[in-house]
Amino acid sequence: MASFVDNCTATGSRCPRVFLAHEPSLAGNAIFLVLFAALVPVAFGLGLKYRSPFFATAITTGLALEAVGYIGRVLLHSDTADRNFFVLFLVGTVLGPTFVCVAVFLVMPRIVAIYGDNFRSWRPIWYRFLFYVVTTVVVMLELAGGIIAVMRDGTDDINTGIRLLVAGLAIQLVALVAFVGHAMLFAIAVRTRHHILDTKFVRIYSKRPYKAFIAAFSLATLLLIIRTAYRIIAIAEGFNSSIAQSETLMFALDGLTVLLAVLLLLVWFPGRILGPSSPRPAPRRKSKIQHSAKIPRSIQLIPYELPSTQSSPSFDKSKSKIKYPAMAHPANRSQQREASLQRNLVDSDTLW
């Protein structure tokens, strides 16, 4: 590749921009591509099984973007100067871990809810600001910076794109560090005031799987911090720097760290340990009238005034205003049966 650039420069012709000084490993990038792509349906299926749609959506989006990024690296094996392939690689591998960080941010409020809100070290409005606003800004900066840095040839445009990329990654790193700091304060509060823990969820946080989940969750967050710090250094020094051109560092500090972080979150899936984030709605109770015995249509209810009880000393049969239903002819047995059922429907002595 270097000889091609030297010959191109010596002839005075306009040389294409070369993004990689070496051909990416086809086997290594293909392995990461297959692994990330294979985990997409796994994350989606776990989200459906444990009713965690938001967490599963964030993880699935991150995995899909990582797969797109490694598709770009596989394509760069045949043409290291193709802009479109490099955009796929850069944007995919930069945005993918950002959505994995979003999934991590979504888990912490559920952990806090298990112990109780009195242990949290932040107000919910500030946490939502960290999650919604900061994540949106990071995605916009990373996307705009990646496109500008690759699709423009001017030195100023390239530097502007790199600055936007570094700014987005730096904000993401600060958000992760702040997240870890608040998580440590929360852990200290739980440790020092464990005597006032909410016993409603004691069956969850006292079990061994939950403790393993906390360890896996912490390690996944640490891996994402390492990856973000590496990517800031690699991009800040330029695409032609030795760090950015090293495929070994790319595999170890970017692809592998993100893959391990996602595997930890999927093996100890939060929905399986903490319970579903979107519980099923309570079934609608059927009216008792629907379960009661149905009155035959053939029975015609005849309204009448309820009499006072006969056992009352003030009862006067001659002054009673009771309107008894007119009896049918004795020869008509069916009408007599209906009238008998009508009288059994309301028993004045029982009601009073």
**What is the full per-residue pLDDT of the chain (352 aa) written as tens digits?**
333 344 444 444 445 677 888 889 999 999 999 999 999 999 999 999 999 999 999 999 999 999 999 999 999 998 888 899 999 999 999 999 999 999 999 998 888 888 777 777 777 788 888 788 999 999 999 999 999 999 888 888 889 999 999 999 999 999 999 999 988 988 888 888 766 666 777 777 778 888 999 999 999 999 999 999 999 999 999 888 999 999 999 999 999 999 999 999 999 999 998 877 654 444 455 444 444 444 455 444 445 444 544 555 555 555 555 554 554 455 555 555 555 545 554 444 443 3
Nearest Cα to Cα of residue 102 among 183, 190, 175, 185: 175
User: CA-CA distance, 260 to 219, in Å (whole number)?
Assistant: 9
Q: Measured over all CA atoms, what is the biggest interatomic distance in the chain, rounded to whole angstroms? A: 130
Domain ranges within the chain, ordered by starting residue: 15-274, 289-347
Residue 20 is predicted with a pLDDT of 84
- What does the pLDDT read at residue 347? 45
d(CA 41, CA 60): 8
| Per-residue pLDDT at 207 | 81
Name the CATH topology of 15-274.
Rhopdopsin 7-helix transmembrane proteins (1.20.1070)
If we measure between CA atoms, which residue out of 61, 62, 74 comes closest to residue 32?
74
Give the CA distances from residue 110 to residues 132, 221, 276, in Å, rounded to whole numbers and listed in that order: 17, 16, 10
Tokens of 339: 């009238």
